Amino acid sequence: MAYALAPSNAVAYTSGRDISQTLESARSEVEERFLEGGTVLLSVMDVLNRLLNSLESVTTALDNKEASDTSADLRATVESLMALPVTEENRQQALVSLAHTGRELRKHVADMQETMRYLRTFAVTVKITGAGLAEFAGFAQEILERIYSGTDEVNRFATHLDSLDKEVKLAASFGAGVSKSYADTVPAVAGALRDDAAKIAGHRKDLGVIAREVGAIARAVQGKVASTLSALQIGDITRQRIEHVQATFSLLEDFFAGEDGARLDAGARQRLQNVIHHLTAAQMSDMCANFQRESEHVVKTIASFDHDMREILKLRDQMSGQSGEAGGNFMRALESSVSAAHEIVKQVDTASRQADQVSQSTIGTAAKLSEAIGNIRAVKTDIHYMALNTNLRCSRLGEEGRSINVVTAELRIFAGKLDDSADAIVNGLPALEAAAGRVAPATDAGAGNLGESLTSAVGNIRSAANVMENELKVLAENGREVATKISLLIGKLDFQHNLGEVLAGCADMLEGVAGTDVADISDLAETIAPLDRKIFKHYTMVQERSIHRSIIPASEDSTSAPAETAETAKAENDEDLFADALF
């Protein structure tokens, strides 16, 4: 049964133009909304890229080899600190050994001083006994002067040892205090440094885990954005299909105004218009269904961004919180521990300088003692030979020289004792020098190097912390911008609101104009074949062509062109579709 026709051609044509104008409004709305949505999506993609770049910078800072090396340096410094009590204990033992060696030498010096007193007594006795013999007067004075000279050498020797003993006692006294201080403070300070380094390493590890979680979510959102950008092709497809419907009305008007249309009577025109209304209504109805389905998918995807962004912001806040107060506390704790360590290092430096001074002084004293021993041996030799010469003279004098001979024999005996003491001292000097070497700082890295290592390690950790803090600030800003962009995006890409209603309204209007029944135009097949081919050629999708043929079957005149219109048109128009997908 034929569709109830409009009262006149003019009314029909006006209806077509009115529908086209309504469709134009819908087409413009589709183009504007999807263009705006695509722009917002691209801006979200851009800020997501910046967010991922920030995460990469954060990850690079976290994986910074120098920061790892710095932690290793700090641990090595802690190990050096832990070795200080043992080092100081060894130094104390070396000082004890040095003091013991000095005391042993002092005994031999005391023996030499005692011997020199006896020699002075015997020399005075020789002078008194030989007072009546002119040839012994000068000799007695000479031998007495040599004994005084030897006594001075021995006393200088004793003075050197006394001075060394005082230095050793002072160093030992100071060292005992340092050693006790080390025992009380070094383990606690070293443990604090070790704990601080471990906390910082753990802090960095936690940040790394959070950064990877943020990265995973951001990349998932990035994938969703890319998928949504692809899904926005429905906007271009919808726009094109509206244009095809508009073109169909325009081609119908052109056909009516042309030679072929002029040959049709009013009834034929109305039947053809009815079929075109059904055709456009079917195209619009199918287009609305596709738009509804695809845009709903887009809206659901966009809506899921909100949850993703809340997760990113939550993780961002965790990172900011960990890098803020907690990170600052870690650094302050570390710097406090390092300050305490520096105090210990100052003590190390003082103790090392004092020990080095004792060591150098001992080595210098040993050299002076060696020289003094040579002088004492020379005095002993002179006394020995002078006494021997006196013995020979006394033998020639007979009974007169007997008393002097007895005294000079004693001189020779006691002068020989100087050799015994000198030999004992000479044998003890290597032990003195060895003990002095053990007193000197026992490590290659002195206190100055230890202090520099601490300062350098903390400086590097502070620098790494500053880099991390700056990168996290950038990350926080980018996270905030992503959240803002996505919030805007959710509003912009709600295609169901207004736009879907407009398209559905156009489809309902066309269905209302078309009515329920499709007019029979089989008798007009040959006449409308050119119009059929022109409309068919506009289509870019198989779906459109299928709908067209379900309403206007192909005529014999149009069967020669299907290959051209269906295949070549598809190839050409599909390229146009992708080229215009994002307007």
CB–CB of 260/530 below 8 Å? yes
Q: Which amino acid is at 277?
A: H
Q: What is the pLDDT of residue 331?
A: 60
Backbone angles phi, psi at 296, to 5 degrees: -65, -40
Count other C-beta atoms under 10 Å from residue 198's C-beta: 12
Q: What is the pLDDT of residues 24-57, one digit of tens each?
A: 887 888 888 778 778 877 877 887 787 777 777 7
| Residue closest to 97 by CA, chosen among 426, 421, 430, 445 | 430
How far lies 33's CA from each of 37, 47, 272, 341, 492, in Å? 6, 21, 35, 66, 7
pLDDT tens across 175-215, in order?
A: 666 666 666 667 777 777 777 777 777 777 777 787 788 77
CA angle 54/58/64 to nearest 5° reads: 140
| Residues 501-528 as b or e (16 or more Cβ within 10 Å = b) | ebbbebbebbbebbbeebbebeebbebb
Region for residue 498 given its phi and psi (left: phi exceeds 0; alpha: psi -120 to 50; beta: otherwise): left
Mean pLDDT of the chain: 74
CA–CA separation, 205 vs 200, rounded Å?
8
pTM of the predicted model as reported, rounded to 2 decimal places: 0.53
Number of neighbours of residue 295 by Cβ within 10 angstroms: 24
**Backbone angles phi and psi of 517, in degrees to 5:** -110, 150
Q: How many residues does the chain have?
A: 583
Check if the beta carbon of residue 109 is closer than 8 Å to that of residue 162.
Answer: no
Token pair recorded at residue 36? 């705006």
The pLDDT of residue 519 = 92
For the segment 212-259, what is each residue's pLDDT rounded down to a tens digit? 887 788 788 788 888 878 877 888 888 899 999 999 999 999 999 998
- DSSP states of 301-363: HHHHHHHHHHHHHHHHHHHHHIIIIIHHHHHHHHHHHHHHHHHHHHHHHHHHHHHHHHHHHHH
Half-sphere exposure in the Cβ direction for 64 (13 Å, CA): 17
Predicted local confidence at residue 490, as pLDDT:
65
User: At 332, is the pLDDT very low, low, confident or very high (cuts 50, 70, 90)?
Assistant: low
* Per-residue pLDDT tens over the stretch 429-486: 787 777 777 776 544 445 556 667 777 766 766 776 677 677 667 767 776 777 777 7
**Counting Cβ atoms within 10 Å, is residue 459 exposed (0-12), middle (13-18) or buried (19+)?**
exposed
**Between vectors from CA 309 to CA 304 and to CA 311, what angle results, nearest 5°?**
105
Reported confidence tier of residue 270, pLDDT bands at 50, 70, 90? very high
Query: Is the pLDDT confidence value at 580 over 90?
Result: no
Instruction: Give just the sign of the alpha carbon dihedral 53, 56, 62, 65.
Output: negative
DSSP codes joined into one string, 420-487: HHHHHHHHHHHHHHHHHHHHS--SSS-HHHHHHHHHHHHHHHHHHHHHHHHHHHHHHHHHHHHHHHHH
CA–CA gap between residue 292 and residue 491 (Å, rounded): 17
Q: What is the pLDDT of residues 87-102, one digit of tens each?
A: 777 777 877 887 888 8
Residue among 560, 580, 568 at smallest CA distance from 537: 568
Q: How far is CA 265 from CA 261, 272, 517, 524, 579, in A?
A: 9, 11, 20, 11, 43
Which of left, alpha, beta for 515 (phi over 0: left; psi -120 to 50: alpha)? left
H or E segment and range at residue 187: helix 134-231
Q: Which band of pLDDT confidence, cut at 50, 70 and 90, is reported for residue 4?
A: very low
Residue 579 is predicted with a pLDDT of 42
Nearest to 451 by CA among 304, 352, 553, 322: 352
Task: Label residue 61 exposed, middle or buried (CB < 10 Å: 0-12, 13-18, 19+).
Answer: buried
The pLDDT assigned to 68 comes to: 54
Say how far apart CA 296 and CA 35 lie, in whole Å.
Answer: 17
The residues, ordered by sequence, that sit 6+ positions from 420 with a Cβ below 8 Å of its Cβ are 111
Chain position carrying tokens 């002119």: 134
Q: What is the pLDDT of residue 207?
A: 76
Range 554-576 average pLDDT = 49
State yes or no: pLDDT of 11 exceeds 60.
Answer: no
| Alpha helices by DSSP H, 232-258 | 233-257
Tell me the C-alpha distance between 321 and 498, whole Å: 43
How many other CB atoms sit within 10 Å of the CB of residue 438? Answer: 16
> What is the rounded CA–CA span in Å between residue 62 and residue 576?
48
- Look at the alpha carbons of 215, 221, 227, 233 in this order and tell me if their dihedral is positive or negative: negative
- With bands split at pLDDT 50, 70 and 90, how would you rate the model's confidence at 545? very high
**Cα distance between residue 501 and residue 303, in whole Å:** 20
**C-alpha triplet 217, 223, 229: angle, nearest 5°:** 135
Q: What is the mean pLDDT of residues 559-583?
A: 44
Spatial separation of the C-alpha atoms in residues 520 and 528, rounded to whole Å: 13
Which of these ranges, 77-81, 128-132, 217-221, 426-430, has the smallest mean pLDDT?
128-132
Distances (CA, A) of 54 to 47, 98, 223, 284, 326: 10, 63, 18, 47, 21
